[in-house]
Amino acid sequence: MNILVANLGSTSFKFRLFRFGGAGDATLLAKGGYERVTDYGQAIDDCLAELKAGGHARSAADLHGVGFKTVLGKNLTGCVRADDRVIAALEGFKEIAPAHNPPYALGIQRFREKLPGVPLVALFETAFYQWVPEAATRYAVPPTWHEAGVRRYGFHGASHKFAAERSAELLGRADIAERVRQLYLAGPVPVAAGAKPLRVISCHFGGSSSVTGMRDGVAVGTSMGLSPQSGLPQNNRVGDLDSAAVPFVMKTLGLSLAEVERQMTKEGGLLGLSGVGNDMRDVRAAAAQGNARAQLALDVFIHSARHWIGAFLLELGGCDALVFTAGIGENNPDLRAAICANLTDLGISLDVTKNDTLRGTEGEISAAGARTRVFVIPANEELVVARETLRCISAAN
């Protein structure tokens, strides 16, 4: 079975083609992409031509499904066929994810025209949070706001789900790993009576960052809310902010709403704090040379990460595994060390040598005997989308 994963940006189109064997093992056959895309139909034609030239898919008939990592939809989530409902749901919330929803709605339409008969599947980033208790998703807003859709949704669902599954495997909890695999098909199936609860906190720290708490593989809450414009400071986005700040700067700095939105998404986060860039490598390099603003950006990031880890440590009543994933989480031992500092009494303690040497690969970095196991688990969101797409298609047949 060949599954194509399409990653659609406002002007880009990236793809990966996976082949699944009978045992569910996946091989990455091809990957590629195009920038400055103005016509998704043309990009799809180019992609198919590339796959044909590479001998991976002679025609559309050799594609058994296409998966999309859609962000959020109005009144719709989960892993579902990318049909009219999905397009309407994406369009219904285009104001919340203006950089992502319109390209996905358009791209899915083009795929349907270009590849009739090939099943298309949307895996919403919000899907992992379907079972979060309402007390953790509800904002204290007037009912009309809530009815319009103002609530916490949560994002990075594909990544945190992978962390849930893989950490369960690493802890020898095949039951929970299987529960996570079945989640979008069967919902949270009952765990065996008397089984020890598995409490995991997953830290996806990358271009955008979030922390998610999970009990027995199911999310209990996450740091991101209505939009990816929330939680930890992001590369260019402000993250959590008191809502009073928006009317305040509009009135006192004379900014229009459009300008406030632009500055909150383009000039905030690590870039706004550090003044040197939005990439953690640049921020760290500047801090190492004594740049005080860059150091402050690091300190704010660490403080916010600890704030959210602390929230889930309490919510879960402890933590069996702490997971670091994505570009920042996988490659920055000193940030991991700073985030885990002084937590020995809470069961979290790192092995300095293991932490210092582990970059970009899977491994354990906790000190021997520490109550909480700490893992680095490289993110592979495209593979998650491909797997879920295959499950969705197979379940429907």
**Residues of the shown chain interacting with ligand ADP in the complex, contacts defined by CB under 6 A:** 206-208, 279-281, 326-328, 331-332
Nearer of residues 154 and 206 to ligand ADP, judged by Cβ:
206
Q: Supply the minimum distance, in Å, between the C-beta of residue 288 and ligand ADP.
A: 12
For residue 68, what are the β-bridge partners? 6, 122
* Cβ-based nearer residue to ligand ADP, 97 or 115: 97
The secondary structure element, H or E, covering residue 339 is: helix 333-339
Complex with ligand ADP: residue 44 or 326, whichever CB lies closer: 326
SS3 162: helix
For residues 52 and 354, which CB has a smaller minimum distance to ligand ADP in the complex?
354
**Least distance CB 91 / ligand ADP (angstroms):** 25
| Contact indicator for 21, 381 with CB cutoff of 8 Å | no
Find the shortest distance in angstroms from Cβ 97 to ligand ADP: 15
Distance CA 133, CA 145 (A): 19
- Ramachandran angles phi, psi of 204, nearest 5°: -95, 105
Q: C-beta of 315: minimal distance to ligand ADP in Å?
A: 25
Are 145 and 121 in contact by the 8 Å Cβ rule? The answer is: no
Residue 240 · residue 276 · CB < 8 Å: no
Choice between 221 and 327, CB closer to ligand ADP? 327
- Least distance CB 273 / ligand ADP (angstroms): 13
Is the CB of 325 or the CB of 372 nearer to ligand ADP? 325
Residue nearest to ligand ADP (CB): 327
H or E element at residue 230: none
Contacts of 129 (CB under 8 A, 6+ apart): 77, 137, 152, 153, 154, 157, 219, 222
Answer positive or negative: Cα dihedral of 325, 394, 12, 46.
Answer: positive
For the CB of residue 41, give the shortest distance to ligand ADP in the complex, in Å.
26
